[in-house]
Structure 1
Amino acid sequence: MTGDSTVSAVVDEITALGPFFAVAVHPPGSEPPEPWQPMSRTLLAARVAGVGDWLAAAGGQPPGAVEVRVAASVAHLGLAARLVSPALAAAVLRSRALAPGFADLRWQHAVGGPIPLSLPHDAFAGAAVGSPSRLADELSSRLLDGALRELADAMGEFSVSPHILWGNTASAVNGAATMIKAARPDLTARTRTITALLLERPPLRDASTTTPDGVFRRRSCCLIYRAAPDGKGSLCGDCVLSH
């Protein structure tokens, strides 16, 4: 296991990139005190309901006006971003494949911003991985096919298709990369390389594409436009429906 000072340095460097990267750390095999809790069907349902009510209020609609699957897709996109962002940052900044198990994650219920996330201390263990290609392999097999697949499976219970959920995950990867490049322009080339390699690997291989001029486009829609009154909201910049 890496020492406490090393973990603190990694966490500080990641967290400095912004709120979607911020993480707390708890000892492995222990339970951090409330309000931290493991992800559960109850917590997911509360998150989906809270996001639905927030979207409805933003559109001047009553609670319950937004379709459950729309709220679930938007909630999933936010949760996927919370897992992807610190992991991509650790890969770019420290050449580490940060991929904690889903059961080891701890969350706090909060609506209106990035949901608080705590990782086990031993998620930071292990040596740095040398090449960007190996980093992408590790993140694909351990994070995308691990915690993010479990999250997608859980959110699928709210009638959101896997096509949309993996599109959300690809969008979260691209969003994290955009934030890293904005915060650390000196890491732009490395961020682009690792991101492109990750998006080429399963299960994201068919979830997005890159235009000839280098613009990211997902191959699905997160459905947020349907949250507006009469389902006539604006489309996201990377949406398949806007092109």
Structure 2
Amino acid sequence: MTKPPTASAVIGEIAVLGPFFAVDTHPAGTEPPDPWQPMSRALLEARVTGVRERLAVAGGQPGDAVEIRVAASVAHLGLAARLVSPALAAAVLHGLVLAPGLADLRWQPVTGGPVPLSLPDDTLAGDPATTPTRLADELSGRLLDGPLRELAAAMEEFSLSRHILWGNTASAVNGAATMITAARPDLTARTRTLTSLLLARPPLRDTSTTTPEGTFRRRSCCLIYRAAPGGKGALCGDCVLRR
């Protein structure tokens, strides 16, 4: 019988896929030292403020020219991608479901780039799912309806609709899948099968569609185009507004 991979082996394999996949771990039930922090309103506000400032600088504008809700949506997309990416990779590689509660995760308040993420070490325990369908069910129930729903609820306080928030999450799922297949073409079929199953389940059902050319297209907009002067920025590749 093949031995299950060790936690360090799983983390190592995931990290090779890119910075959005890299995670640290801390002993379950303990508090890691500074600068690790639990998710909080203050941390979210700092992240949104930092994103707002960077968007304003990129557009040559004063900070208050960028709407808070625009910065909050961009910040949410980045945080959702940090939760989705390692979870999708662990699922594709080993059938594992990384889905601790949002309160159990620890973050570092850095500006720019993927925010550092630490998981409780017991998150990597458990039996792998045996089929793609079961794995998609587990991810939907434990990841999407777990920390990602908690994150969406927290970001609603920045005047973001659930339509945008779940669209961001769907975009994060597709983005993670794209990065996995770019780094590991041999995982393309497995990754795309699982991603399709996951996007077809609630709460992501009806958040996206596929164009006749086979391109992922979300049914909402992350609003980043509004950060440019006059609200005339470029649209993302998967935006609903793209024609």
With normalisation by structure 2, the TM-score equals 0.97
SS in 1 for 2:63: coil
User: Shift of the alpha carbon at 1:206?
Assistant: 1.2
SS in 1 for 2:137: helix
Q: How is 1:86-235 mapped onto 2 (pairs within 5 angstroms)?
A: 86-235=86-235
- Indicate yes or no: 2:82 matched with 1:82: yes
Number of equivalent positions? 240
User: Shift of the alpha carbon at 1:98?
Assistant: 1.1
Segments of structure 1 that go 5 or more residues without pairing to the other structure are none
Amino acid at match of 2:224: I
Partner of 1:242: 242
1:97 and 1:108 map into 2 onto residues whose CA distance is: 23
Partner of 2:42: 42
2:91 and 2:241 map into 1 onto residues whose CA distance is: 31
1:134 and 1:58 map into 2 onto residues whose CA distance is: 44
SS in 2 for 1:241: coil
**Post-superposition CA distance 1:39-83 (Å, at most 9, x none):** 000000000000000100011111222100000000000000000
SS in 1 for 2:37: coil
1:241 and 1:114 map into 2 onto residues whose CA distance is: 26
TM superposition outliers: structure 1 runs of 4+ over 6 Å = none
**Post-superposition CA distance 1:120-171 (Å, at most 9, x none):** 0011010111101111000000010010000000000000110000000000
1:15 and 1:208 map into 2 onto residues whose CA distance is: 28
SS in 2 for 1:128: coil
Partner of 2:52: 52
1:125 and 1:211 map into 2 onto residues whose CA distance is: 38
Amino acid at match of 2:51: V
Amino acid at match of 1:162: R
User: Shift of the alpha carbon at 1:213?
Assistant: 2.6
User: Shift of the alpha carbon at 1:212?
Assistant: 2.8
What percent of counterpart residues are identical?
76
1:70 and 1:63 map into 2 onto residues whose CA distance is: 12
Amino acid at match of 1:222: C
User: Shift of the alpha carbon at 1:111?
Assistant: 1.7
With normalisation by structure 1, the TM-score equals 0.97
1:84 and 1:223 map into 2 onto residues whose CA distance is: 20
User: Shift of the alpha carbon at 1:110?
Assistant: 1.3
User: Shift of the alpha carbon at 1:101?
Assistant: 1.0
Segments of structure 2 that go 5 or more residues without pairing to the other structure are none
2:54 and 2:209 map into 1 onto residues whose CA distance is: 31
1:113 and 1:142 map into 2 onto residues whose CA distance is: 26
SS in 2 for 1:21: coil
1:112 and 1:45 map into 2 onto residues whose CA distance is: 14
2:64 and 2:36 map into 1 onto residues whose CA distance is: 27
1:213 and 1:229 map into 2 onto residues whose CA distance is: 32
2:6 and 2:201 map into 1 onto residues whose CA distance is: 30
SS in 2 for 1:240: coil
Amino acid at match of 1:166: W
